[in-house]
Structure 1
Amino acid sequence: TLPFLLTLSRTAGEIIAGWEAQPHSRLYMAFLIIQRGNETFRCGGFLVAENFVLTAAHCNGDKIIVVLGAHNITQQEQSQQVIPVRRPYPHQDYDKEAPRNNDIMLLQLEHKAELNEQVGLILLPPAHQRVKPGTMCSVAGWGRTSALSEVLPDVLREVDLKVLDDQTCLKYPGGAYRNYNSRMMMCVGDPKEHKASFKGDSGGPLVCGKTAQGIVSGGPSNGHPPGVYTRVSTFIPWIQKTMRRLQP
């Protein structure tokens, strides 16, 4: 039973100007319930091995529960698999100052997920692969749908976003991204379109083709694009090494 799903107090990263996802069209999506002190909040994540979920390091907490196979998180759907996290592995060089460097974390699950028609893995890119600017990708999550509203959606929502060149973030007005690091970050979301990931979507994947190329990391508090995503391909050696070390 997950009654506490309904009382999540705050969020970390959300989909603005998106739409409801086709139920179970993203088999890899993970809904994370994170307890940090007295607070409970939500993040996204994605299943990259039967017993590992990838997410953002800023989604770390004292206790994390992963829900796989979910669409409506306020209902006890038959498809849901609720698995506690055995141990979180945030990147050793994670820097929580904005923009967050090395904002990536592996979650080792208490037991393996059962892969089926509602739960599956997503591919990771080859190490150091770059996504061409102009590429359309998509992001999904259970985060807020407006900077003006605290209301959180019950169902998974998604939006298509364009990958931009690094200069767009480096030269962002007001210098919000002056510390943007193109080696480990991606600049995503056309400033001309009011579409973005937002609070509650943190840790979810930016999917280009069938590959998780980015992780929702941060963006302006008003929800205006572009946002900054962790560049997954940079961390492939770290992901592989960490998972190999922990496999029984």
Structure 2
Amino acid sequence: RAPFIMWLFFEPGLSPGEIIGGWEAKPHSRSYMAHLAIQCKKKTYICGGFLVSEKFVLMAGDSGGPLVCGKTAQSVVTWGPVNGSPPRVYAKVSTFIPWIQAMMRRLQP
């Protein structure tokens, strides 16, 4: 089970070309790929996805889906407007690593 945890570590220095999510995508394979880190009350919220057109946004996944950068899970989609419009909010995976490890230990036979 240890290799699973290795995929969850947070890597700093995200950039727009590193966003993939849902099904694998090549950097800049979408016309309007975007990445946005929002600071709010000393917390950073990472949002990302691609624009189909200037008025329609698809995000990197739906609730529970990953925002993956460099083959590492950075965030998990937590919530956003039902109609798919921005903003979308992601939970930073590295924040939950101690909890994930505790749950994995607890669930082992």
TM bucket (normalised to shorter chain) is 0.5 to 0.7
**Aligned with 2:47 (options 181, 187, 205):** 187
In 2, Cα distance between equivalents of 1:212 and 1:137: 10
DSSP 3-state at the match of 1:243: helix
Residue in structure 2 matched with residue 201 of structure 1 by the alignment: 62
Per-residue deviation, 1:205: 1.3
Return the TM-score normalized by structure 2: 0.63
The 3-state SS of whatever aligns with 2:58 is: coil
Deviations 1:99-150 (CA, angstroms, capped at 9, x unpaired): xxxxxxxxxxxxxxxxxxxxxx581115xx545354531121xxxxxxxxxx
1:182 positional shift: 2.4
Name which of 131, 138, 146 aligns with 2:20: 138
Q: Is 2:25 the counterpart of 1:123?
A: no
C-alpha distance 214-193 of structure 1, shift in aligned 2 (>3 A): farther
Superposition pairs of residues 167-178 of structure 1, within 5 angstroms: 167=39
**Contact persistence 2:77–2:89 (CA under 8 A):** yes
1:242 paired with 2:103, answer yes
Q: 1: CA distance between counterparts of 2:71 and 2:55?
A: 24
Map of 2:34 onto structure 1: 162
Q: TM-score under structure 1 normalisation? A: 0.32
User: 2:86 — aligned with what?
Assistant: 225
Quote how far apart the aligned CAs of 1:190 are: 6.3
Give the helix-richer structure, 1 or 2: 2
| Structure of larger gyration radius | 1
Residues paired across the two proteins, number: 99
The answer to whether the 8 Å contact 2:36/2:47 transfers is yes
Query: CA separation in 1, counterparts of 2:49 and 2:43?
Result: 15
- 1:133-169 per-position Cα deviation (integer Å, ceiling 9, x unaligned): 54531121xxxxxxxxxxxxxxxx56665331214xx
1:207: how far off? 1.0
CA–CA distance in structure 2, aligned partners of residues 225 and 209 of structure 1: 24
Within 5 A, what are the aligned runs for 1:1-248? 49=1, 123-126=7-10, 129-132=11-14, 134=16, 136-140=18-22, 157=23, 161-167=33-39, 182=43, 185-189=45-49, 194-197=56-59, 201-248=62-109
Please list the CA deviations of residues 190-211 of structure 1 after superposition, one character each: whole Å capped at 9, or x if unmatched.
Answer: 676744238x821111110110
Structure 2 segments unaligned to the other structure (5+ residues): none
The percentage of aligned residue pairs carrying the same residue is: 44
